[in-house]
Amino acid sequence: RTRNPEPETPNPKPRTRNPEPETPNPEVARNPQGPTLTFRVHSFSLNRHVKALQRRPVDPAGALKTPPLVVLNNFGGDQRAHMRLTAVTLQNLFPAINVANMKLADCRRVVLFHLDKDTDTIELRHYCIRATPAGVNRGVRKVVRTQLPNLGKLDDVSEYVLGRGYTGGGAGAMSDSEAEDETAQVVLSDKYSGRGNVKSQKSQVRLSELGPRITMKLLKVERGLAGGDVLYHAHISKTPEEAAALRRKAQEKAVERKRRREEQEANVERKRAEKEVKKRKRDERRAERAARRAEAQARGEDADLSEDEDDDEDEDDDLDDIDPELVRDPLEYDADEA
């Protein structure tokens, strides 16, 4: 559920909105046997909030055509069973990638899950991967692009490349935040998206955040699809005896529900059989009356069969419906008892 954004305010960080008390907690389940993981969202920022703070937002239309790379940070050394299960579940939210057969051009996005071991909160970030030719300043990169810049106000193209002729360093000048980092330079093993990113050439790899940002925490783990035993709960802990008592109670409840269902089905089947028997007898009586009426007409007599027809109408009233109490869902009994 989202709301219209508030007027922009000078804030160095993306706006976050704490979920309201009635906001449902997201659940992630493995189909069809489970388990089910329930998370509690502490805060989040929508895509538009992240883009509003970016000077040049990236259009992710092309990047969304391929599945993202999944990065799990700080999950490796955690030996707790529920956190290992969380790591496997988050990793399998997205399609598996075969590193040996995948194409470099398909690596367009990254989804990062970071675990804060002090608070057990999980941070989700979503980035778009961009590559630009290394060793080339911003002005030259613009020249090699399909859309050429406007050089009408310059005397020579060198003014654009060197950043002269524009205030604030010019369009070709590179800002401090865009300075090339040699650790982010890689030699491409194949052609990559973007002009100038060719095979065996060195390119600068950058990440542009797409959003959303989510801060969440594992609340509980259930066996099955949101209906089994609670294997882990962040706020409630039970002794083995209490857990065994709950399992025993759940099993007894399941047995009772099954017994009620079988009893209901047997009652419904009995009612239907009785209805078929009465209907067959009624049809036989009607056929007998029709034969008597035809015989009386053949003799020129008038047969009065109104009393028999009234009896059939009374039987029809008895067979209109099956008792609705016999076809109730067993869960309704549980609700009535509660």
The average pLDDT across 211-237 equals 88
| Total Cβ atoms within 10 A of residue 205 | 18
Give the pLDDT confidence of 113-137 residue by residue, as tens digits.
Answer: 999 999 999 999 999 998 888 766 6
CA distance 5 to 49: 8
Q: Return all residues near 136 (Cβ < 8 A) that are at least 6 apart.
A: 144, 196
Top-confidence residue, 178 or 109: 109
Residue 100 pLDDT exceeds 50 = yes
Give pLDDT, residue 91: 92
User: Helix, strand or coil for residue 130?
Assistant: strand
Residue 174 pLDDT exceeds 50 = no
CA distance 177 to 43: 28
Give the pLDDT confidence of 43-59 residue by residue, as tens digits.
Answer: 999 999 999 988 888 88
SS3 content of the chain, % helix, strand, coil (to 5): 40, 20, 45
* 228 band by pLDDT with thresholds 50, 70 and 90: confident
CA distance 252 to 257: 9
CA distance 121 to 216: 6
Top-confidence residue, 259 or 16: 259
Residue 300 pLDDT exceeds 60 = yes
Residue 288 host element (H or E): helix 240-299
CA distance 241 to 220: 20
Which sign does the torsion angle of CA 100, 185, 206, 88 carry?
positive
Structural domain spans, the chain: 27-135+180-237, 241-337
Top-confidence residue, 36 or 165: 36
Residue 68 pLDDT exceeds 90 = yes
Residue 264 host element (H or E): helix 240-299
Residue 262 pLDDT exceeds 60 = yes
Give pLDDT, residue 39: 95
Q: Return all residues near 292 (Cβ < 8 A) that are at least 6 apart.
A: 303, 305
| Total Cβ atoms within 10 A of residue 127 | 22
Residue 337 pLDDT exceeds 60 = no
